[in-house]
Structure 1
Amino acid sequence: MTAARRVLLIAACAVLAVVALAAIAPGLLATHDPLQVDVRSTLLPPSAEHLFGTDQSGRDVYSRVVHGTGRSVGIGVLATAIALVAGLAVGSLSGVSPRIVDAGFMRLNDVLMAFPEFLIALVVVAVLGPGPVNVAIAVTLAAIPVYVRLARVQTRTLRLAEHVEAARILGVPRGRAFLRHVVPGVLGTLSVLATIGIGSSILAAAGLSFLGLGPTEPTPEWGLMLAGGRNVLGQAWWISVFPGLAITLTVIAATAVGRVLRASAEGRRV
């Protein structure tokens, strides 16, 4: 790893550490009540009192960004975790199934992968209706096809590996050999992909919230805050810019760490 990329990785990990702290214990970082309305302090620019300024209701934007971390990042992490488990189950099942069943699974998966993840999530929310729970479900369903394909490929590769064949020769039952030697290898590969996928899920969830399909006011959530400031962008740019920066930095940091892990897993120099 080059020195520049090592510095980039350290910076990305530092950003994710701050994001994790804000998600787990927002009270340690926030300076105000994110829901407190003060009509005398509306649309104040960033200052020592209000680090990111205030919004149309006089609420502290910095505190709302901090408290919104748990919802925005939580949806991304939860959706990615569920998509990983579902992809592992379906992909592994497809990889050990008869050819005709495997082909059926993959054709359906190819159709889903032909559409952008955000479009699939948008369709799911349109069917289920708006709301934070439905947004999480939509983002999860949109992310599953990628994990299914990778799990299927890794399953078909590992099931023919020498150590798996050796276990079978030694009398280990087929199912036990699969669970002990194939599934951990597939899960390790999917975990690396999930690190990158968290950023995509956060971005998709924020996009749906921006369109008004997720949480509603006055809930602090990055995508919702971004939408709340678009009508006064020329007058109070900070209302949208700081939540947008939070989304951007989190997605870039998660993607950077994921790419380093993927390169290390593949044995390439990064």
Structure 2
Amino acid sequence: MRGARNAALWTAAAVLAVVAFAAVAPGVLATHDPLQTEVRAALLPPGTEHFFGTDQSGRDVYSRVVYGAGRSIGIGILATGIALVAGLVVGSLAGIAPRPVDATLMRVNDVLMAFPEFLVALVVVALLGPGPVNIAIAVTLAAVPVYVRLARVQTRTLALAEHVEAARILGVPAIPAFVRHVVPGVLGSLSVLATIGIGSSILAAAGLSFLGLGPSEPTPEWGLMLAGGRNVLGQAWWISVFPGVAITLTVVAATVVGRVLRARADGRNS
């Protein structure tokens, strides 16, 4: 069981490493200009010259998938990072706040958690309008409630821990003791959750782009590429399939890494 888990972890980590490299240095992996069009090469199937074929405008699908990694991964990391910080602040304050304040914050948080993250993000984009920046904002706001809930639970648990009580007995003021002994533990738990959250954020951003609420053509972005090939799926399946495979592999890999890290954090190493 442990060997299978380690194999899954290393495989997922390798996939994420390749995706991260494509996001940071797409020019090294890409074989063509992702924006260059060539009408005579339109809808070519996968081959030696175009690994993933070409789209309706003759653009190289492989190069567009490589360059699209930066935008998709960027939105996922940015949204998850901001959601983690916001959840840490709000959840920690709720954990030490007076009962009426805590109850109010948690009721609002429970209402938001009652709706799927994608639906919340869709509503936010509908209010703010389409665009890559608004998608990042929407995905961030949709992800915050989960981090708030975990941060609040961890804060209340760690605030009663023996080492925190010992610090107070030794005369350490409440705020320094909280920042020094409680916040790092809460942040560690949120960081494990964020590993899974990156995949969810990428999937939500791709879904919004697929609906036409994100970047516009000819921007290479995985969700937008999926939408671009849906009308010719029977004739040129590769236009949508390869971006879909990239999304799937990235999300599954991030989820596997997050779940393994969570299991180890909980002490389930067997």
TM-score under structure 1 length normalisation: 0.99
- Deviation of the 1:5 alpha carbon: 2.0
Q: Using the alignment, how far apart are the partners of 1:118 and 1:12 within structure 2?
A: 24
SS in 1 for 2:217: coil
Q: Using the alignment, how far apart are the partners of 2:20 and 2:199 within structure 1?
A: 14
Residue matched to 2:56: 56
What letter matches 2:117 in structure 1? E
SS in 2 for 1:58: coil
SS in 1 for 2:59: coil
What letter matches 1:124 in structure 2? V
Q: Using the alignment, how far apart are the partners of 1:181 and 1:201 within structure 2?
A: 30
Alpha-carbon deviations, 1:50-107, whole Å to 9, x = none?
0000000000000000000000111011000000000000000000000000000000
Residue matched to 1:44: 44
Runs of 4+ in 1 over 3 A off after TM superposition: none
- Deviation of the 1:114 alpha carbon: 0.2
Alpha-carbon deviations, 1:183-234, whole Å to 9, x = none?
0000000000000010000000000000000000000000000000000000
Alignment of 1:89-104 (within 5 A): 89-104=89-104
Does 2:145 match 1:145? yes
CA RMSD, 1 decimal = 0.6
- Deviation of the 1:4 alpha carbon: 2.0
Q: Using the alignment, how far apart are the partners of 1:2 and 1:100 within structure 2?
A: 45
Q: Using the alignment, how far apart are the partners of 2:2 and 2:165 within structure 1?
A: 39
Q: Using the alignment, how far apart are the partners of 2:196 and 2:135 within structure 1?
A: 19
SS in 1 for 2:194: helix
Q: Using the alignment, how far apart are the partners of 2:98 and 2:7 within structure 1?
A: 48
Q: Using the alignment, how far apart are the partners of 1:192 and 1:172 within structure 2?
A: 29
Q: Using the alignment, how far apart are the partners of 1:113 and 1:124 within structure 2?
A: 15
Alpha-carbon deviations, 1:125-147, whole Å to 9, x = none?
00000000000000000000000
Residue matched to 1:14: 14
Structure 2 residues not aligned, in runs of 5+: none
Residue matched to 2:133: 133
TM-score under structure 2 length normalisation: 0.99
Alignment of 1:95-244 (within 5 A): 95-244=95-244
Alpha-carbon deviations, 1:239-269, whole Å to 9, x = none?
0000000000000000000000000000013
Residue matched to 1:251: 251
Q: Using the alignment, how far apart are the partners of 2:250 and 2:49 within structure 1?
A: 25
SS in 2 for 1:240: helix
Residue matched to 1:24: 24
Q: Using the alignment, how far apart are the partners of 1:170 and 1:179 within structure 2?
A: 16
Structure 1 residues not aligned, in runs of 5+: none
Q: Using the alignment, how far apart are the partners of 1:94 and 1:5 within structure 2?
A: 36
- Deviation of the 1:25 alpha carbon: 0.4
**Identity value in percent:** 82
What letter matches 2:42 in structure 1? T
Alpha-carbon deviations, 1:16-54, whole Å to 9, x = none?
000000000000100000000000100000000000000
How many aligned residue pairs are there? Answer: 270
Q: Using the alignment, how far apart are the partners of 1:28 and 1:240 within structure 2?
A: 23
What letter matches 1:226 in structure 2? L
Q: Using the alignment, how far apart are the partners of 1:195 and 1:151 within structure 2?
A: 15
